[in-house]
Structure 1
Amino acid sequence: MSVHLGFSIPINVFGPGLCIAHRGTIIINKNTRVGENCRIHACTNIGSSRAEVSAPQIGNNVYIGPGAKIFGNIVIADDIAIGANSVVNKSFYEKGISIAGIPAEKISTKGSDGIIVAATQIAKNNP
């Protein structure tokens, strides 16, 4: 199915509640770790930098906009929204912010709240 939809997503990279907004190219490095309730859009690449084995470690409830490129031995905190076509090559430890740009920088104190469906919370409340 991944070939048909344009995904290259290794197993055990994403936590529960992953939402893939629509089909299109999504490339994820096998060493990446992403928490619960990630919403990811097409044309996204998450990987390591040249000559690095380590890949991004991304928290819970993170929104990743279309065309985002996230790479290197970096950490992305919980509840962050990453804007479309952003290039994220450094860590962001502050929770609940929006980042965007090339290279990405903090643009707002409003994070992913309201644009993420907390599927894991819904599942816990509806056994």
Structure 2
Amino acid sequence: MKKRVTRLGGLLAAYQRRDPAARSKLEIFMLYPGVHAIINHRIAHWLYLHHRFFLARCVSQWSRFWTGIEIHPGATIGRRLVIDHGMGIVIGETAEVGDDCLLYQGVTLGGTGKDKGKRHPTLGNNVLVGSGAKVLGPFKVGDNARIAAGAVVLREVPPNSTAVGVPAQVVRVAGKPVYYADDVDQIHMDNPVQEELNALTQRIEQLETELRQVKETKERTA
């Protein structure tokens, strides 16, 4: 008979899979601020849905004080969200986070201040957002997408792709294995801006070489 996994059990198991420092589910449950933030958010979100807005905000503010992670009671959070360390994370009211996502410290799922109604991003399933990344606006980040550390994302990110830079540019993973959230390497990613700068540098060096050759030819024939 297949063992039934509770929502909390699935969350703790997700931390064990993705955090090499995690030793036991008891340690995770007792000491991990990301777990506490999610549990508190479930309570605050229930209150929010039942129009107990003041109480919902009280719970979320207490959680923010206790964990350093600010999740608005109105945000919709999927299953098995792993928050690594988590200090400084901010998730806005209309943000939506899918299942099996991974957020590092300093991430912001926020708005630009120009939109009304739906103001914050929607993350699909299995999305990784690197340390210090800012995802701002009411757009979708597709399933299995990766956002590099420090990126500022201001437009939609397609599924199975990587967003890098400020402002972020999308690099499709054509011809390469699809990166999933379990691959937690935030360093070895293609950077389209750097690639363009390298190409320009090579072109300038080539032109300087050609110019030098022309000058030498003129001097010999003078």
Larger fraction in strand: 1
1:3 aligns with 2:71: no
1:60 aligns with 2:125: yes
Residue number among 100, 107, 124 corresponding to 2:171 in the alignment: 107
Q: With structure 1 as the length reference, what TM-score do the two structures score? A: 0.82
Larger fraction in helix: 2
Unaligned runs of 5+ in 2: 1-62, 185-222
Task: Give 2:98's aligned residue.
Answer: 35
Q: With structure 2 as the length reference, what TM-score do the two structures score? A: 0.48
Structure 2: distance between partners of 1:92 and 1:82: 9
1:82 aligns with 2:150: no
CA gap 1:55/1:113 in 2 versus in 1, 3 angstroms = closer
Give the drift of 1:108.
Answer: 4.9
Give the drift of 1:14.
Answer: 1.4
Identity across matched positions, percent: 26
Structure showing greater Rg = 2
Structure 1: distance between partners of 2:64 and 2:181: 29
Task: Give 1:45's aligned residue.
Answer: 108
Unaligned runs of 5+ in 1: 117-127
Residue number among 84, 87, 94 corresponding to 1:21 in the alignment: 84
Give the drift of 1:13.
Answer: 2.1
Matched residue count: 115
**Higher RCO (Cα < 8 Å, 6 or more apart):** 1
Structure 1: distance between partners of 2:182 and 2:68: 27
Per-residue CA deviation, residues 3-44 of structure 1 (Å, 9 max, x unaligned), is 122111134521001001113110110100110011001111
